[in-house]
């Protein structure tokens, strides 16, 4: 009666499993204080250890009812902790950005296993009441599984037994940035970046990705995806361009809908209710109301990029991926479980109050537009660190916050209060409950205790529902051996590899250069890169080396170091590494600091830039124009490699393999290339399979490729499809939805649906 108890030893940690015929399997850690209650012939976990079955402990009840009961039992301090979303946590703990200790000793000197909780992580749970944890780098799937079980056991031992909801930024791409490179190493399946999924123009593939990625996430103990990023990328210079589904609102909406359905939907025995269940992963769709229209392509992680502008009066189109995609799912979960607004100030878009503040702070954008008009009642979580004071150095990501629009006249607590009153539920990247408790007291003084208690419980219910619906209160644990077997398994790796093959876009294929027969001699030049920094400021040393693993290439071709001996050449390059739009050197020599963002390889002078910027801040500089200034991208030598290789190869074919993080001015090298094959994050094996014809290219451009930088400067930041596109020597226009296969220009149901066949 009440289930069969099985005890499993998980590396010095015993987890008890209670299996029952007419109910969920329950799991709890020995030593957590949790016991099993029996009622009506069924088993339940006594999470608050009071010896009776509370409504929130009764898995028969709807998630909303359970969440309301639990929220009513929580103290304001506990709800404040629930509203926090932790700063980045690395596994093991000593690999993160912040110092970590174990037992009071430096983690690496303590002898602790890599999956042990650091002292700081224990404090997050017990003292700060945090239950939402962001995981970054992971040593291995086994490490993630064991760490999850320790975290959940520790959370379970706390008074109310609320499990942790761990999350991740995208971790399945091959070429993620320092912030987002977070996977189980090579042991997780590798897929194209979001732009690569978009290049397939196949929402069903995005759904398949979500279904597989969610299984790997749950095996790792991850229950929330901080994705997808559905901003329409209407300015080609934005450094987050390649993390989106492209510039077309309809394509982005369709991809978003399918992606989220794949992540969130559980079926069959895995379903608990309304499509939610043990296979589900919450999605946090980003970034309301769209972050792709930053002035001049600058990004709002930095103060110099805080303004989103709408010179084309096209604000409403930026909402489409949310209102028609993320909030209108085909599956039973109905809408994304959470939304993250972007850092930007959406200039002059508040039609009721006229406020120009960061999107999360805007009552109009959150309460009126998102909650009331779009009908979203899930969690609204701010982007990371928007309540801290702004940094002194305009180019630094931290220390300091991104409190755009409320930099002055507000304390940190008052910023939290303003966010709460705007309709925000959660504060990203914030480990400190103190300012939330101060915000509560501000509200009590203005509205009374009953009002603020109700407001806090409203957010608590939204946050708790996302944990209840996934079955975590019944079983938050993972089986280590199952994790190791599932994450990156052969079937998942195969699906990811096939998706990579489908994402390639063949832009040029002169005289049917491709496919290239195997076993011919290939020359691959070294790639020379200047010293630079990552977008967060970490140094990247200068380098000169072959850009691929030659052992992979030798499985397909004979490699020679002499162009004269080669039958053909492959040059591996990237789109121009853009310059972010601000230069400390320019400011140090008396300039404003504002410089162009270039999409060409040669030095670029902004002759056609605006005379006067659309937005400005008198504390910095009101007119942020960069007209007449010059910049050079850090991978300018990529162009030289193509041109020099063509010179040395003479009339023999030169294939350019280009990884596109942004559109590029390919006119600088197109005539020197016999074939141009674009990817959006792909393994070298996949590139070789395309080149040799083991697979045929079928991808389409999910954005326009500009003819030159003049059209980039003259396009409107908020408007898609408004550039003069490049037309190559064969007369092909590199427009949205253009791509070649071995037979020529692709025209099929996808091009008909998304571009009316006008390719």
- 191-207 tens-digit pLDDT: 999 999 999 999 999 99
- Per-residue 3-state assignment (H helix, E strand, C coil) for 637-681: HHHHHHHHHHHHHCCCCEEEEEECCCCCCHHHCHHHCCEEEEECC
Report, as an integer, the average pLDDT of 36-53.
97
Q: Compute how many other C-beta atoms are within 10 angstroms of the C-beta atom of residue 166.
A: 25
- Cβ-based neighbour number of residue 452 at 10 Å: 21
What is the per-residue pLDDT for 6? 61
288 close to 339: Cβ distance less than 8 angstroms: yes
Q: From residue 719, how far is each of 61, 248, 317, 495, 541 by CA, in Å?
A: 47, 10, 8, 34, 37
Residue corresponding to tokens 């409107």: 716
In SS3 terms, 541-600 reads as CCEEECCCCHHHHHCCCEEECCHHHCCEEEEEEECCCCCCCECHHHHHCCCCCECCCCCC
* Percent above pLDDT 90 for the chain: 89
CA-nearest of 371, 341, 373, 370 to 357 is: 341
Average the pLDDT over 115-129 and give the result: 96
Q: Which residues pair with 621 in a beta bridge?
A: 617
Of 256, 378, 279, nearest to 328 (Cα)?
Answer: 256
* pLDDT higher than 90, residue 186: no
Of the candidate ranges 87-91, 369-373, 418-422, the one whose mean pLDDT is the lowest: 87-91
Query: Does the pLDDT at position 97 exceed 80?
Result: no
Q: What are the backbone dihedrals phi and psi of residue 428, each rounded to the nearest 5 degrees, phi first?
A: -70, 140
User: Among 25-39, 166-180, 510-524, where is mean pLDDT lowest?
Assistant: 166-180
pLDDT of residue 11: 52
Q: Which residues contact 347 (CB under 8 A, 6 or more apart)?
A: 307, 308, 309, 310, 356, 614, 615
Angle value at C-alpha 181, between 152 and 258, nearest 5 degrees = 80
**Burial, 58: exposed, middle or buried (Cβ in 10 Å; 0-12, 13-18, 19+)?**
middle
Could you tell me if 726 and 504 are in contact, meaning their C-beta atoms sit under 8 angstroms apart? Answer: no
Please, what is the average pLDDT of the chain? Answer: 94
**Which pLDDT score is estimated for 9?**
56
Question: Residue 620: its pLDDT value, please?
Answer: 86
Mean pLDDT, rounded, for 715-738: 98
What are 210-251's pLDDT values in tens digits?
999 999 999 999 999 999 999 999 999 999 999 999 999 999
Task: Give the pLDDT confidence of 393-405 residue by residue, as tens digits.
Answer: 888 887 889 999 9
198-212, 277-291, 572-586, 723-737, range with the lowest pLDDT: 572-586
Categorize the per-residue pLDDT at 425 as very low, low, confident or very high, splitting at 50, 70 and 90.
very high
Which tens digit of pLDDT belongs to each residue from 457-508?
A: 999 999 999 999 999 999 999 999 999 999 999 999 999 999 999 999 999 9
**For the CA atoms of the chain, what is the radius of gyration?**
26
User: What pLDDT does residue 716 have?
Assistant: 98
Q: What is the mean pLDDT of residues 65-73?
A: 98
Which one has a higher pLDDT value, 309 or 173? 309
What sections of 267-424 are H helices per DSSP?
320, 363, 412-422
Smallest Cα–Cα separation from 251: which of 290, 195, 297, 212?
195
pLDDT value at position 99? Answer: 86
- At residue 177 the predicted structure's pLDDT band, cuts being 50, 70 and 90, is very low
pLDDT of residue 529: 87
Contact 59, 44 (CB under 8 A): yes
Q: What Å distances lie between residue 646 and 632, 656, 680, CA to CA?
A: 23, 10, 24
**Element containing residue 285 per DSSP (H, E):** strand 282-288
pLDDT of 132 over the 90 cut: yes
The torsion defined by the Cα of 336, 339, 344 and 348, in degrees rounded to 10, comes to 80
Q: With 70 as the cut, is the pLDDT of residue 751 above it?
A: yes
Closest by alpha carbon to 426, among 249, 165, 74, 744? 165
Residue 758 has what pLDDT?
52
The 3-class SS string of 142-205 reads HHHHHHHHHHHHHHHCCCCCCCCEEEECCCCECCCCCCCCCCCHHHCCCECCHHHHHHCCCHHH
What is the C-alpha separation between 52 and 113, in angstroms, rounded?
37
Q: Confidence class of residue 663 from pLDDT cuts 50, 70 and 90?
A: very high
CA proximity to 103, closest of 119, 120, 127, 124: 119
- Token representation of residue 452: 């603020």
Q: What secondary structure letter does DSSP report for 392?
A: S
Both structure tokens of 345: 């100030």
The span from the CA of 590 to the CA of 613, in Å, is 18
């Amino acid at each position: 009666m009440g289930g069969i108890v099985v005890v499993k030893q998980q590396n010095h940690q015993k987890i008890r499993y209670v299996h029952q015929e007419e109910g969920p399997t329950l799991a709890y850690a020995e030593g957590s204080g949790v016991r099993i209650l029996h009622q009506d012939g069924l088993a339940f976990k006594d999470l608050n250890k009071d010896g009776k079955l509370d409504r929130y402990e009764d898995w028969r009840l709807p998630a909303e009812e359970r969440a309301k009961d639990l929220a009513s039992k929580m103290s304001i301090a506990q709800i404040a902790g629930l509203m926090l979303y932790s700063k980045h946590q690395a596994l093991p703990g000593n690999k993160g950005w912040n110092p970590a200790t174990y037992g009071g000793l430096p983690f690496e000197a303590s002898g602790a296993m890599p999956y042990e909780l650091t002292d700081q992580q224990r404090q997050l749970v017990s003292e700060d009441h945090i239950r939402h944890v962001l995981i970054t780098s992971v040593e291995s799937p086994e490490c993630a599984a064991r760490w999850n079980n320790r975290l959940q056991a520790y959370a379970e031992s706390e008074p109310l037994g609320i499990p942790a909801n761990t999350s991740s930024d995208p971790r399945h791409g091959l070429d993620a940035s320092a912030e987002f490179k977070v996977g189980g190493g090579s042991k997780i399946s590798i897929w194209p970046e979001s732009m690569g999924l978009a290049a397939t123009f196949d929402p069903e593939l995005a759904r398949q990705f979500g279904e597989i990625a969610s299984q790997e996430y749950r095996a790792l103990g991850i229950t929330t995806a901080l994705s997808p990023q559905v901003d329409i990328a209407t300015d080609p210079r934005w450094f987050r361009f390649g993390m989106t589904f492209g510039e077309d609102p309809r394509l982005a909406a369709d991809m978003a809908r399918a992606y989220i359905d794949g992540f969130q939907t559980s079926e069959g025995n895995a379903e608990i209710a309304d499509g939610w269940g043990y296979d589900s992963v919450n999605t946090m769709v980003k970034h309301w109301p769209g972050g792709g229209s930053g002035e001049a392509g600058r990004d709002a992680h930095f103060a110099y990029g805080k303004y989103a502008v709408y010179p084309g009066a096209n604000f409403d189109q930026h909402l489409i991926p949310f209102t028609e995609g993320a909030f209108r799912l085909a599956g039973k979960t109905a809408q994304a479980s959470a939304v993250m607004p972007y850092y930007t100030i959406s200039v002059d878009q508040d039609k009721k109050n006229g406020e120009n503040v960061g999107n999360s702070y805007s009552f109009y954008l959150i309460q009126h537009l998102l909650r009331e008009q779009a009908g979203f009642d899930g969690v609204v979580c701010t982007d990371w660190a928007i309540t801290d004071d702004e940094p002194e150095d305009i180019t630094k990501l931290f220390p300091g916050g991104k409190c755009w629009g409320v930099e002055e006249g507000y304390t940190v607590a008052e910023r939290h209060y303003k966010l709460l009153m705007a309709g925000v539920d959660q504060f990203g990247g914030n480990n400190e409950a103190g300012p939330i408790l101060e915000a509560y007291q501000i509200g009590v003084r203005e509205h009374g205790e009953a009002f603020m208690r109700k407001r806090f419980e409203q957010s608590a219910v939204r946050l708790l529902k996302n944990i209840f619906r996934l079955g975590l209160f019944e079983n938050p644990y993972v089986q280590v051996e199952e994790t190791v077997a599932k994450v990156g398994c052969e079937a998942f790796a195969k699906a990811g590899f096939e998706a990579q093959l489908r994402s390639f876009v063949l832009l040029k294929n002169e005289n049917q250069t491709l496919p290239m027969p195997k076993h011919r001699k290939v020359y691959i030049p070294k790639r020379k890169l200047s010293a630079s920094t990552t977008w967060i400021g970490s140094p990247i040393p200068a380098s000169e080396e072959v850009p691929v693993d030659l052992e992979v290439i030798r499985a397909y071709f004979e490699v020679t170091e002499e162009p004269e001996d080669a039958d053909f050449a492959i040059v591996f390059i990237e789109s121009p590494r853009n310059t972010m739009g601000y230069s400390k050197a320019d400011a140090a020599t008396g300039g404003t600091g504002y410089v162009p963002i270039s999409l060409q390889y040669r030095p670029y002078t902004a002759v056609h830039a605006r005379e006067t910027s659309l937005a400005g801040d008198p504390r910095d500089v009101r007119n942020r124009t960069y007209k007449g200034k010059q910049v050079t991208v850090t991978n300018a030598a990529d162009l030289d490699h193509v041109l020099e290789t063509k010179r040395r190869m003479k009339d023999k074919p030169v294939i350019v393999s280009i990884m596109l993080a942004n559109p590029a001015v390919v006119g600088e090298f197109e005539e020197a290339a016999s074939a141009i094959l674009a990817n959006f994050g792909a393994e070298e094996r996949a590139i070789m399979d395309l080149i040799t014809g083991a697979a045929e290219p079928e991808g389409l451009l999910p954005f326009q490729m500009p003819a030159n930088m003049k059209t980039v400067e003259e396009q409107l930041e908020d408007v898609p499809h408004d550039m003069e596109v490049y037309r190559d020597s064969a007369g092909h226009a590199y427009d949205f939805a253009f791509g070649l296969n071995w037979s020529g220009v692709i025209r099929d149901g996808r091009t008909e649906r998304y571009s009316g066949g006008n390719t």
